[in-house]
Amino acid sequence: MIWLTLALLVVASIEDLRFREVSDGYSIVLLITAILGTAFHWHEVSWIGLLGGFAVGFALSGAFFFLGGLGGADVKLTAALGAILGIQRVFPVLFWIAMAGGVLCLIALLRGKRDIAYVPAISLGLLFFLVSRGNFAWS
Say how many domains are in the chain.
1
Q: Note whether residue 76 is domain-resident.
A: yes
Q: Note whether residue 139 is domain-resident.
A: no
Q: Note whether residue 97 is domain-resident.
A: yes
Task: Judge contact between 104 and 116, C-beta under 8 A.
Answer: yes
Distance, in Å, from the CA atom of 6 to the CA atom of 29, rounded to the nearest integer, reads: 12
* C-beta neighbour count of 69 within 10 angstroms: 14
Q: What is the mean pLDDT of residues 57-86?
A: 97
Q: Note whether residue 27 is domain-resident.
A: yes
Please report, rounded to a whole number, the percentage of residues in the chain having pLDDT higher than 70.
Answer: 96
Q: Note whether residue 43 is domain-resident.
A: yes
pLDDT digits 0-9 by tens, 32-52: 999 999 999 999 999 999 999
Please report, rounded to a whole number, the percentage of residues in the chain having pLDDT higher than 90.
Answer: 89
pTM > 0.75: yes
Per-residue pLDDT at 137 exceeds 60: no
Q: Note whether residue 37 is domain-resident.
A: yes
Structural domain range at position 35:
2-133
Pick the residue with more confidence: 37 or 133? 37
